[in-house]
Amino acid sequence: MLQELFTPSVQHWLDLVGIFVFAISGALLAVRKNFDVFGIAVLAEVTALGGGLFRDLIIGAVPPSAFTDLGYFVTPLVAAALVFFLHPEVERTQVAVNIFDAAGLGLFCVTGTVKAYDYGLGLTASAALGLATAVGGGVLRDIIANEVPSLVRWDRDLYAVPAMVGSTIIVVAIHFDALSAFTSGAAVVTAFVLRLLAMRFHWRAPRAWHRRSSATELPEETP
């Protein structure tokens, strides 16, 4: 089904673009945490490939693509090298990085959902793995960097919700036998736009109703 939506060449290049921008975000966090060159490379690889690795292991697509396609492994290293030498310049283009990251989020939640369904998972499980594909690398990045994952922080703009919406659109389209390049593209664009709007207007998920906690904010990241 995935091959019917995108040609193998287009799919490969879209994956590499998503991997690259996710790797940039991981490498930048490593620089902020004062990691050495090895730590920068590790965080770039984990952020870029973690979600896809988790998905492939769950559905039994082994060995995972990250270990069978050299481009998947090398691309995060290129991003890490770029950040290592040019991180001040990369930091100044953070808005552009965020835009590409949002695009990668939209793309990966869709391709992850479709691939999971291709391997025989039900609609709900496929949507869940689509979400995991999109956000899993970021969760692993934050854990390794000793941060509360951004995914569960109330003081961060919505990230998982746009991916959930994108995955949901895909499973609804599958259910009604309406999955096509158009509906898949619509899901990607919807997740992408929702993420951009969340960053622009600082949309955040609500906290517990009538919560009694006195906490007002979580610790900021170490510069």
> How confident is residue 223, by pLDDT bands cut at 50, 70 and 90?
very low
Coil/strand/helix, residue 130: helix
Integer CA distances (angstroms), 208 to 157, 159, 163, 213, in order: 17, 18, 22, 10
More confident residue, 134 or 211: 134
Q: Which residues of 65-97 are buried (b: 16+ CB within 10 A; e: fewer)?
A: bbeeeeebbebbbbbbebbbeebeebeeeeeeb
Q: Which residues of 151-174 are buried (b: 16+ CB within 10 A; e: fewer)?
A: eebeebbbbbbbbbbbbbbbbebb
Tell me the one-letter amino acid at 161.
V
Q: What pLDDT score does 54 carry?
A: 95
pLDDT of 178-189, one tens digit each? 999 899 999 999
d(CA 52, CA 173): 22
pLDDT of 44-81, one tens digit each? 999 999 999 999 999 999 999 889 999 999 999 999 99
In the chain, how long is the greatest CA-to-CA distance? 53
d(CA 130, CA 105): 10
Q: What sign results for the dihedral spanned by CA atoms 5, 18, 53, 9?
A: positive
Domain ranges of the chain: 2-201
Contact between 101 and 25 under an 8 Å Cβ cutoff? The reply is yes
pLDDT of 97-122, one tens digit each? 788 889 889 999 999 999 999 999 99
Contact between 134 and 151 under an 8 Å Cβ cutoff? The reply is no
